[in-house]
Amino acid sequence: MENLRVILWTTDGKATELFLPLTSAGKAAGRWVRVGIPVASIPRFGQTNMVVDRIAVSGDARTIFYLGEVRVVTDSTPIQGFLDRTEMNLARGDEVLLTASAEGGYSVLEYAWDFDASNGVQDDATGAGVYHRFRIPGEYVVTCTIRDKYGLKAPWSGTIKVTVNP
């Protein structure tokens, strides 16, 4: 199962739904996964009376899953990222796995990578782990930016200095 589908009904009879990706959800103890639903991210929730009557949760695959707890929290935890390294020395053409991890409270996090900061930081690849091959010798600054999927928290960025030898 990769996504949760959540439907909220309010006491004024209106329903709204959203999908939560589990691939970037926070890990809790054991095999539990922690997901958060920022109220500001719920489509059309502001068009209801905002008093939740009931909630339905399903997945995108036939499987059994357990819902351990539902609670309302204020999550002001900042995003804190971690890179597996800060410097690399490679031969031209070497393929390397770049990995990052992060904590961000209940936020659903997205990872973006830029492989050459000299042309401005842009999203060249996405995911907590990405493979990249440096084909031209030189000095590179690789930037990893970790964002809250809903844009409610300040992003975190870290860099890796890469030297590619001929």
Indicate the domain borders of the chain. Answer: 3-59, 80-165
Task: Give 119's DSSP letter.
Answer: G
| pLDDT > 70 fraction of the chain, expressed in percent and rounded | 95
Q: Which residue has the higher pLDDT, 29 or 88?
A: 88
Sign for the pseudo-dihedral over CA of 116, 117, 118, 124:
positive
pLDDT tier at 21 (50, 70, 90 boundaries)?
confident
Task: Give 78's DSSP letter.
Answer: P
Checking if the pLDDT of 95 tops 90, the result is yes
| CATH homologous superfamily for the domain 80-165 | Immunoglobulins (2.60.40.10)
pLDDT tier at 132 (50, 70, 90 boundaries)?
very high
Task: State residue 24's pLDDT score.
Answer: 60
HEC letters along 35-59: CCCCHHHCCCHHHCCCCEEEEEEEE
Would you state the structure tokens that stand for residue 155, as one six-digit string?
């992003």
Half-sphere exposure of 162 (CA within 13 A, CB side): 28
- CA distance linking residue 18 with residue 107, whole number of Å: 15
Q: What is the mean pLDDT of residues 57-83?
A: 88
Q: Which residue has the higher pLDDT, 62 or 30?
A: 62
